[in-house]
A and B are shown apart, each in its own frame.
Chain A
Amino acid sequence: MFDFLALPFMQRALLAGIITAVLVGWVGVYVVSRRMSFIGEGIANASLTGVALALLAGWAPLPVAILVSLLTAAAIFIIERRTVIASDAAVGILCTSGLALGVILLRFFQGYQPELVSFLFGNILSIKISDLVVTEVFGVIVFLLLAFFTRQLTFMTIDPEGGYLHGLSRWGYDLLLYSVTAVTVVLSIKLLGVILVSALLVIPSSISKLFSSSFRSFRRNGILLSVVIVVFGLFLSYWLNLPSGATIVLFGATLFALASAAHLFIRNQ
């Protein structure tokens, strides 16, 4: 039943999946607490420009997509703070512009592009050793940033004014959070696809929020649930011969529906 674990592509997919699941679960706690779930969708869509550019130039798509996503995150951050445009509008404008630019760039590419399709919908077969290396390197950097600045990121999420009065930078930690969110989203794209990646940013932390009594347990459960959803979603996609991204997201959504029903039941007892 688990023979497939000996397959190299499955091992790469599992390793990349677990690394990104930890990051997505952790970042998702902040994203859900700040009610900025739309940012994952926006950054993922905008990163298509990076993928298209890389494919046209013959470069590795993941690093270019990370660079474009970081620029997008910085642009969203600046528009939010320097103009009267609201956060969701800023994300909406940049997300669709990035997607549109990606589509225009891909118009110049001749023929079928399997790499592009794997970025759009996610494909465990498409995770190469070079992708795994990029995921590991950036994954470790994001993990260390999250671990080192946990208190600051939590403080600026719960009470930005209070954090500022206790000596924290008003904008620095928000920019850091946007940046780690951007990198995390792009690292998950090969597994889940541009279209579905934002779901994993919100599903585990939303389930965790239902049953957690402290921020520590909220974060821990969010990470654990994210890993469970990715690993079992990958197994299901292999056993049922279904696309990995869609299977992971649907498995997570099913868990969310069950958890919500259980939460309602417990509350009404």
Chain B
Amino acid sequence: MTQSTPIIEVSNLNKTYQKQTVLEDISFAVSSGSVLAIIGPNGAGKSTLVKILLGLETPTHGTVLIDGQKPQVARERIGYVPQRFTFDRTVPITVHEFLMLAACEEKEHTRTSMVDRALQEVGLPNIADHQLGALSGGQFQRVMIARAILHHKDILILDEPATGIDVAAEKTIYDFIRKLNEERGVTVLLISHELDIVFSFATQVICLNKRLVCHGVPKQVITKDVLQEMYGHLAGAYHHHCDK
């Protein structure tokens, strides 16, 4: 796959819930192998857009194609790290067992080595026997990333992956995601409120506020006017990131 081939195509996407418009006329394409950041204020429709890309929600109008297929068909090609994982922490399940649920097709010893390798890659080599419910927020988030990369995925969608992670672990995570993108050609979609990360990490950005406010290279399209349109009177907090 080349850099210019669109792996995700969104056309005229609309989503309404009980007459409330959540997404309005969204169109964009994501090139294979690129890193796309999605930014926008709370309630801008970012999570709804991700759910539609994953096939968990259906659009009211418009189409979404993942490499020419509907998301429901292509869903196994996507690794996903949610912002919050609604899990009953009192249920006794080990990290190893949790990851083994996702590593389904191969033989037992292959699955175990897949799990060990994934934990190694996210910097948690010794927690396979720990209970999932006893992990810290940061460890939990890295286990979710480990699960997302157990199998080779063409697309990785991360919904604020650094939530609850300390600075050192955050760097490890982003370095690892960058490596996945550069070495394995994984297309990355990243929802983030941190413009530093967006500028340093993303090749493309879409600014969302129910409709598409901007789309392009971050340094070119994220301007004070765009931030003003998205965040209103709170935009000042982000202005130091913009030259224009």
Interface residues in chain A, defined as those with a beta carbon under 8 Å from any beta carbon in chain B: 33, 35, 151, 154-155, 158-159, 161-167, 209, 212-218
Are B101 and A161 within 8 A (Cβ)? no
In the complex, how many angstroms separate the beta carbon of A30 from the nearest chain B beta carbon? 10
Given contacts A166-B104, A209-B91, A215-B97, 11 further A-B contacts (CB under 8 A): A33-B91, A155-B102, A161-B56, A162-B102, A166-B102, A167-B76, A209-B92, A213-B92, A214-B97, A218-B92, A218-B93
Are B93 and A158 within 8 A (Cβ)? yes
What is the bound-complex CA distance between A166 and B87, given in angstroms? 17
What is the bound-complex CA distance between A167 and B56, given in angstroms? 12
In the complex, how many angstroms separate the beta carbon of B244 from the nearest chain A beta carbon? 39
What is the bound-complex CA distance between A166 and B80, given in angstroms? 10
Report which of A164, A209, A215, A217 forms a contact with B75, defined as CB distance below 8 A: A164
Instruction: Name B96's closest neighbour in chain A (CB-CB).
Output: A214
- B88-141 interface (Cβ within 8 A of A): 88, 90-94, 97-98, 101-102, 104, 131
Are B85 and A159 within 8 A (Cβ)? yes
Are A215 and B91 within 8 A (Cβ)? yes
Chain A residue contacts of B97, Cβ below 8 A: 214-216
Chain B residue contacts of A166, Cβ below 8 A: 76, 101-102, 104
Contact A209-B90, Cβ < 8 Å, known A165-B75, A165-B76, A166-B76 = yes
Chain B residue contacts of A33, Cβ below 8 A: 88, 91
Instruction: Name B157's closest neighbour in chain A (CB-CB).
Output: A165
**7 shortest interchain CB distances as A-B pairs:** A215-B93, A212-B92, A155-B101, A214-B94, A33-B91, A218-B92, A167-B76
In the complex, how many angstroms separate the beta carbon of B186 from the nearest chain A beta carbon? 15
Are A213 and B104 within 8 A (Cβ)? no
Instruction: Name A208's closest neighbour in chain B (CB-CB).
Output: B92
Interface residues in chain B, defined as those with a beta carbon under 8 Å from any beta carbon in chain A: 54-56, 75-76, 78, 80, 82, 85, 87-88, 90-94, 97-98, 101-102, 104, 131, 147
Chain A residue contacts of B75, Cβ below 8 A: 164-165, 167
Are A215 and B56 within 8 A (Cβ)? no
Instruction: Name A216's closest neighbour in chain B (CB-CB).
Output: B97
In the complex, how many angstroms separate the beta carbon of A16 from the nearest chain B beta carbon? 30
- Inter-chain CB contacts under 8 Å: number: 61
In the complex, how many angstroms separate the beta carbon of B172 from the nearest chain A beta carbon? 23
Chain A residue contacts of B91, Cβ below 8 A: 33, 158, 209, 215, 218
In the complex, how many angstroms separate the beta carbon of B39 from the nearest chain A beta carbon? 23
Chain B residue contacts of A215, Cβ below 8 A: 91-94, 97
Chain B residue contacts of A163, Cβ below 8 A: 101
Chain A residue contacts of B92, Cβ below 8 A: 209, 212-215, 217-218
Instruction: Name A217's closest neighbour in chain B (CB-CB).
Output: B92
In the complex, how many angstroms separate the beta carbon of B81 from the nearest chain A beta carbon? 10
Chain A residue contacts of B82, Cβ below 8 A: 161
Chain A residue contacts of B80, Cβ below 8 A: 161-162, 165
Chain A residue contacts of B93, Cβ below 8 A: 158, 214-215, 218
Of B82, B91, B98, the most chain A CB neighbours within 10 A belong to B91
What is the bound-complex CA distance between A185 and B148, given in angstroms? 37
Report which of B56, B87, B101, B131 forms a contact with A154, defined as CB distance below 8 A: B101
Instruction: Name A211's closest neighbour in chain B (CB-CB).
Output: B92
Are B87 and A159 within 8 A (Cβ)? yes
Chain A residue contacts of B98, Cβ below 8 A: 158-159
Chain A residue contacts of B131, Cβ below 8 A: 213-214
In the complex, how many angstroms separate the beta carbon of A216 from the nearest chain B beta carbon? 7
Chain B residue contacts of A164, Cβ below 8 A: 55-56, 75
Report which of B88, B94, B102 forms a contact with A35, defined as CB distance below 8 A: B88
In the complex, how many angstroms separate the beta carbon of B94 from the nearest chain A beta carbon? 5
Are A151 and B90 within 8 A (Cβ)? no
Instruction: Name A210's closest neighbour in chain B (CB-CB).
Output: B92
Contact A158-B101, Cβ < 8 Å, known A164-B56, A165-B78, A213-B131 = yes
